[in-house]
Structure formats: structure tokens, C-alpha cells
Amino acid sequence: MKFYAHFTLLSFVSIILVTGCKSKTSEVSNDGPGMENPLLAPWIDLYGGVPPLDKIKFSDFKPALMNAMAEDSVEIAKITSNTEAPTFENTVAAMELTGSTLSRVINLYYVWSSNLNTPEFQAVDTEMGPKIAAFYDKINQNEALFKRIETVYNSTDKKNLNAEQQRLVWKYYNDFVYYGAKLDVGSKKKVADINQKLASLNTKFSQNLLADEGLFLELNEKEASALPADVKEACAQMAKNKNKTGWLVANTRSSIEPFLTYCTDRSLREKAWKMFINRGDNGNATDNNSLITQILALRAERAKLYGFPTHAHWRLSNKMAKTPEKAMDLLMAVWKPAVARVGEEVSNMQKLSDKEKAGIKIEPWDYRYYAEKVRKATYDLDENEVKPYLQLEKMREGMFWMAGELFNFDFKQITDVPVFHPDVRVWQVLDKTTGKQIGLWYFDPYAREGKRSGAWMTAYREQSRNNGEVATIVSNNSNFIKGKEGEPVLISWEDATTLFHEFGHALHGLCSNVTYPKLSGTNVATDYVEFPSQILERWLATPEILNKFALHYKTGVPIPQDLVKRIEKASTFNQGFTTVEYLASALIDMKLHLAGAQNIDADAFEKNELAKLGMPKEMVMRHRTPQFAHIFADDGYSAGYYSYLWSDVHSADAYEAFTEAGGPYDKVVGKRLLDHVFSVGGTVDEAEGYKAFRGKEPSVAALMHNRGFPYTGK
């Protein structure tokens, strides 16, 4: 189960959760106790099976999880007790048929965790997190099961398997080794204990962050009236969502960043900025600093048990980068030119503020405000001039059209499937030529209480055909502020880029064409999985999308070409800021996890290491350590935040294949992208898959060019 968050050249919003569970077919009969539990019942017989989302209650999760884990244990015991010699079919392929009930239940468990994380659910999450961790450790540490997998892995008969089957054997063997299958009994016990402790700490970290994101800044009428109409309306809607009158600035990125960009009251900007950057760092009951210290210590201890010098070395051992040193080399290669660009950006902002006789020195809460002023002055480009042409629903239609051109998909809205909230809508995805169903796409665009901030993709079910044809179900989730009834939701260029990015993850799942679920869709290395989504961002700016779908919400007139040219001209504007705030987080992530067994004070470590790096004082990390959910909500992207830059090297280089061929909709290049990237999942080595698409390894040159940074090729 994966939740992929968004990073573009412009933005990085949270959140990512990754678990080790497998996704299987939804059609499982359950005649035993608990049949009345909707999580344990077979999915509704529509469109290949859909979850009964409208029937699920918080109280259903614990019994469903316990039942499903018990069922999975029985299924695995049948494999380990088989007296026949281990073969691909009776061991590895058999593993791919286990855990179908658990996969359905746990996938929906994490849907609730991200979208309906109320106090009632948090109680369940707190209890079940360690139990789920313990269950997966029992599988990963099952000696009898591993010996059977190892036997198949070492068998000379393996050459008789097809390429995907060989890859599946390789994947199972290496995953088991990665999670400690070769450890002695005592070490396995220690690892299991650590994982349960980490599960509890990760859950608490997430809950603390969610609590702090529930804070808000209240505005009076005068303060609200100084904001642009759309920002003011969003603040009014936020107040309404919290059953208050007036205007509120929520403590989430989607509310804070527009406020910091347009609020003319500097003291209010400072107040809002400090509220936001101090999430998880207020010295109160929701402070995350002590949790971070414990998490880092446990990760360091576990890495030693696994035989690695640090957590970073363990985490990168099965990634494309392979070593922390390679990842750090890339980060530092971009860091210096990015910091230099920040110096230029600050200088330009300071000159403008001096010209206005503001009498200030640029501080972090001034950056977005004065950057917008500089953009207007330099490029004659105002974000508020662009937004009227970016209607959320029109952008969604544009994404559908793009998917039709690139992958031959057609989207048909359906209304007869249950959803977990009235705001969620569903589309059936079809092959335009044959009419065959590809899968389902759920869209949950609006912010709500208990929903994590940011944007992400989720797989409810992954494509496979090892037990009959199973179509994928994916969703995209965002946090746009819902507008007034009947009025379109207008979004920024950055928001539209985010939308295309997350849709790229969804398409990665929908395009999957493999046999086994473990290798399906987005089940690739974390420093490769962002590549398909990052390259999809680039289609937003194509003339075909803008002319057809960037229509003024009042007149229906396409966005003027003059405005498009100004957007293109300003494409590298503020890249120093966006790159440095991301890189600072990625570097601190890696440094924290390279520190080994040090007893780390998160705040002090962050401050000292950023000073050593020469972090510009006019800005902060994109995700300060006490709110860094990407690396502390679970293990998923710990020592892995570098992945977005690593993947963007691929996406920048890959898009050049289209420009070299004559355009972004070139059918030949598009077919290669589908065949070697989007459809193959984890059936091939990621580096080999990329080379099969591109004909060469990626170059960092395209990345540097896209960001407007100098590149010598050294």
C-alpha cells in the first residue's frame, strides 16, 4: 500500500506512508465469524469488485485486521508445511495468492488513516500499529518460509522460469534478506521489538502533527479584506468548516502559502509563518522532538543488527542509488548553485523593499510576499492573473485528455459505487479502442477535518492476473478548499502542477500490465517511483492542454498566448528558493540517518548542520525536523527524501526524448514510455528499464537546465 506525495520543481507537499503489505484480488469469500463486518465481506460485485466504503465503521477495523492476519497466517502455514520440494509454483507463486483478505482490509485501514483520521480512528491506530508491525515481522522472520524461498532462488531450475517469474523470485529472496531473514534468533527478536516500538512512535508523531495542523490564525474583517478575493474566500470557507464565523488561516501548507504570498501585514505574516514552521515543535503535549530522538536511536540499533553501519546504508542498499554517498553527491552538486541563486533572489527582493522604503531586512516570512512582487515587476506575471484560467474541474478534464493521448485511456464517471465521503467521485477507466476496463479512479479533492494535508495517490487494489484478471483501483487525494455551491474552484499553477504529478502516480498504477501483484504498478524503488509522476507534470504547460482546458471561468476564453509566454519566461523564477528548501530537508534527512548511534537533539542538530551547509538565513527547510512526516511517520522515505531529486534527473532527461522527437505527444516515444516505464512495474531492474526507454543512462544536465542553474558537466 503506498501513498505518494507530491514534489515538483515548484512544490513539495506531504504525505507519504508505505507499508510492506501485498495487494491481492478483492474477491475473497469469508464464511466464518465476522462475516457481518463489511471489511471482511467480499467486495461489491461491480466493476470487478469495489469496497463497501459507505458501510465501514471505526469499530470494524480491529476485528477485521485480527481476523485477516489470522487467515494469512493459516495460508502461509500451508506453504511451509508442504512436504514436497520447494518450487516456484508451490512456494513463490503460492505466496502471491496469500493475504487477499488482509490486503483488502489494510489498504482501507490506511485510506481511513489519511482521510478520516478522527480521535476514534486514532485510538484504533495506536493499538493496531504495533500489532501490524509484529505480524509482518513474523512473516519476514519465518525461517521455514525463507528456506523454501532460498531453495527456489538457488535452484538451477530457475532458468526455466520466464523473466517476470525470475524477477519475482529475486524480489522475494532479497526482500526477506533485507528485513533480516538471515539473522540469528536473538537478533530477530530484537528487530521485532524495535519495529513494534517504532510503529507506536511513528503513529504518535503523525497524530501530534495532525493535531498541530488543526491550529489556526484568526483574522478580523480589516485583515481579511486586504487579501485577494480567492484567498479571503478560502479563509471564510475554512472558518465555516470549523463552525466559526469570520476568517481563519489554517495551519496547513495549502492555506499558509497563499497567505504568506499576499498578506500585506508583515506582523501577521510572521505570526502565520511561525505557527506553521513550529508544528511539532512547541514544547507541549504534541511536541515531536523526544519522539525523533527515540526513533533515530531505534533505527540506528536496528541497522547494526542488520549488519549495516547506519540506517541510511541499510535503507539505500536496495535502491537505485545503492549508497548514501552517491545520493549525497547528487544533492551537493545541486546545493551550491541553488544557494547561489537564493543570494540573487534575496538581493532582488531587498532592492525592491528598499525602493518601497519598507525599512526591513528580508526574513523568512517575507520571502514569498516579496518574491511575488519581484515576479510581477520582472516578468509582468501575477499569480492572480493566471488562476482564473485554472479551474479544478477543467484541469481534471485536461488530465483525462492527456491520458487518452499518451495511453489510449477513456474516463467515464460512474455514480453507483459507494464512497467514504460525499466529496469523493469515481471514474471507470477504459481502453479507448477496445472498451475493456482498465481500472477505477477515485478523486477526493477537498480538505476536511481529520484529513492529512497535502496531496497523494493511493492504491486500493493493484493490477494482477495470477488469479484471474484483476483491474487496479487508484485514487488521487488533495486538499483544495471547497468553494461556494455552483462556483468553480480556481487553483494556482503550482496546484495544477501538483494535480498532474499525482495523476502521474495514478497512471503508473493504471498502466500496469504484469502478472504478479508484488511487481505491479508503483512497486518499484522509491528513488525511481517519482519519475513517472514528475515527467507527467510537464504536460500541463503543453499548448494542447492550455488551449483546450485552461479556460477563463467566466468567459470560457482560452488562456492568452501572451500570458502563456510570460509563464514560460518565468519558469525558472524562484528556483533557488524551491530547490534549497527541498535540498535542505533532503540533506538533513540523510545526515540524521548517517549519524549512527548519536543521541540526537533534533532542533540542535538541524540548526548546527544547516549552519555548516551555509543555509541562507532568509528561509527554512521545506519540512523542519519536528514536522518531517515523510521520514518520521514511518520508515518509507527515511534516508530517502533524496529520491525526488534522483527521480527528477530521470524525468528531466526523459522529457528530452519527446522534445528531440518533435513534441510531447509523439506516439513512438510515448509507446516506449508505456512499454518500458509505466506498464512494467517492478518486473525489470529500474536502471535497465530506463535505458530500454531512453537508450542511455540519464544525465543531470537536463535537470540543471530546467532549474536555470549553470552546469559544467563535471
Residue range 400-453, pLDDT digits in tens: 999 999 999 999 999 999 999 999 999 999 999 999 999 999 999 999 889 988
| Measured distance CA(104)–CA(65) in Å, rounded | 10
Number of alpha carbons in the 13 Å side-chain half-sphere of residue 99: 22
Cβ contact 609:587 at 8 Å: yes
Q: Which whole number is the average pLDDT over 306-317?
A: 98
Cβ contact 366:360 at 8 Å: yes
Percent of the residues in the chain that have a pLDDT greater than 70, as a whole number: 95
Handedness of CA 617, 620, 625, 630 (dihedral sign): negative
At residue 248, the 3 state secondary structure works out as strand
- Model confidence at 332: pLDDT above 70: yes
pLDDT bin (cut points 50, 70, 90) of residue 714 is low
Measured between its terminal Cα atoms, the distance across the chain in Å is 39
Question: Which residues share a beta bridge with 12?
Answer: 7
Cβ contact 52:418 at 8 Å: yes
Give the pLDDT confidence of 101-152 residue by residue, as tens digits: 999 999 999 999 999 999 999 999 999 999 999 999 999 999 999 999 999 9
Average pLDDT of every residue of the chain: 93
Q: Which whole number is the average pLDDT over 671-688?
A: 98
Which stretches within 249-306 are classed as H helix?
A: 253-262, 266-277, 289-306
Residue type, 33: P
Cβ contact 31:528 at 8 Å: no
Per DSSP, the residues of 596-628 read TT----HHHHHHHHHHHHT--TT---SS-GGG-
> Tell me, what DSSP letter sits at residue 489?
P
Percent of the residues in the chain that have a pLDDT greater than 90, as a whole number: 90
| Measured distance CA(564)–CA(559) in Å, rounded | 7
Q: Write the CB contacts of 484 (distance below 8 Å, at least 6 apart in sequence).
A: 233
Q: What are phi and psi of 510, to 5 degrees?
A: -70, -30
- Model confidence at 95: pLDDT above 70: yes
| Measured distance CA(612)–CA(372) in Å, rounded | 29
pLDDT bin (cut points 50, 70, 90) of residue 616 is very high
Active site positions, annotated:
502
- Model confidence at 72: pLDDT above 50: yes
> Tell me, what DSSP letter sits at residue 675?
I
Look up residue 421 and give its three cell numbers: 465521503
Q: Say which range, 23-37, 353-367, 411-425, 569-583, has the weakest mean pLDDT.
A: 23-37
| Measured distance CA(548)–CA(404) in Å, rounded | 14
Q: Which whole number is the average pLDDT over 166-193?
A: 97
- Model confidence at 570: pLDDT above 60: yes
Q: Which whole number is the average pLDDT over 330-344?
A: 97
Q: What is the Cα Rg of the chain in Å?
A: 25
| Measured distance CA(80)–CA(43) in Å, rounded | 29
What pLDDT does 159 receive?
84
What pLDDT does 346 receive?
98
- Model confidence at 99: pLDDT above 50: yes
Number of alpha carbons in the 13 Å side-chain half-sphere of residue 302: 25
Look up residue 244 and give its three cell numbers: 466559526
- Model confidence at 10: pLDDT above 90: no
Q: Domains in the chain, start-ordered, CATH in brackets?
A: 21-210 (1.10.1370.40)
- 454 compared with 311, residue with greater pLDDT: 311
What pLDDT does 468 receive?
94
Q: Which whole number is the average pLDDT over 246-270?
A: 95
Look up residue 171 and give its three cell numbers: 524480489
> What distance separates the 2 farthest-apart alpha carbons in the chain?
84
What pLDDT does 22 receive?
33
Count CB-CB contacts under 10 A for residue 711: 16
What pLDDT does 35 receive?
54
Give the pLDDT confidence of 352-400 residue by residue, as tens digits: 999 999 999 999 999 999 999 999 999 999 988 999 999 999 999 999 9
Which stretches within 52-154 are classed as H helix?
A: 58-80, 93-95, 100-115, 119-140, 143-154
Cβ contact 110:420 at 8 Å: no
| Measured distance CA(330)–CA(583) in Å, rounded | 10
Q: Residues 287, 293, 296, CA angle at the centre, nearest 5°?
A: 130
- Model confidence at 6: pLDDT above 80: no
Cβ contact 213:251 at 8 Å: yes
At residue 21, the 3 state secondary structure works out as coil
What pLDDT does 19 receive?
28
Give the pLDDT confidence of 454-499 residue by residue, as tens digits: 899 999 999 999 999 999 999 999 999 888 888 899 999 999 999 9
